[in-house]
Amino acid sequence: MSSRASILVADDEVEIREGLELLLESEGYRVSSVDTGQAALARVDEQPFDLLLLDVSLPDRNGLELLREIRQKTPAFRS
């Protein structure tokens, strides 16, 4: 298992999402990216992440609402 930190990027703008992914991977992070809140919830269910970068305005929900949902279902993000 890799010791590199894992980051989930959730942004509906392709350029921002891909740019963050390239930048973070070049710094040695494992990065997953999605374009909707629903996809972010599914990804968080599949694997743990050390950091979430969430767009405030996603097509299917507000990023702050998404963070609340993730915090309710994921103990690591409750504190």
Distance CA 10, CA 3 (A): 22
Q: 41 near 69, Cβ under 8 Å?
A: yes
In a domain, 43, yes or no: yes
CATH code of the domain in which 63 resides: 3.40.50.2300
Total structural domains within the chain = 1
- Parent domain of 31: 6-77
The answer for 28, left when phi > 0, alpha when psi is -120 to 50, beta otherwise, is left
Whether 51 is covered by a domain: the verdict is yes
Please, are residues 32 and 50 in contact by the beta-carbon 8 Å criterion?
Answer: no
Question: Is position 1 within any domain?
Answer: no
Question: Roughly how many angstroms between the first and final C-alpha of the chain, as a whole number?
Answer: 25
Establish if 17 belongs to a structural domain: yes
Q: What's residue 1's pLDDT?
A: 43
Residue 37 within a domain: yes
**What values do phi and psi take at 52, rounded to 5?**
-115, 130
Digit-coded pLDDT (tens) for 27-78: 999 999 999 999 999 999 999 999 999 999 999 999 999 999 999 988 777 6
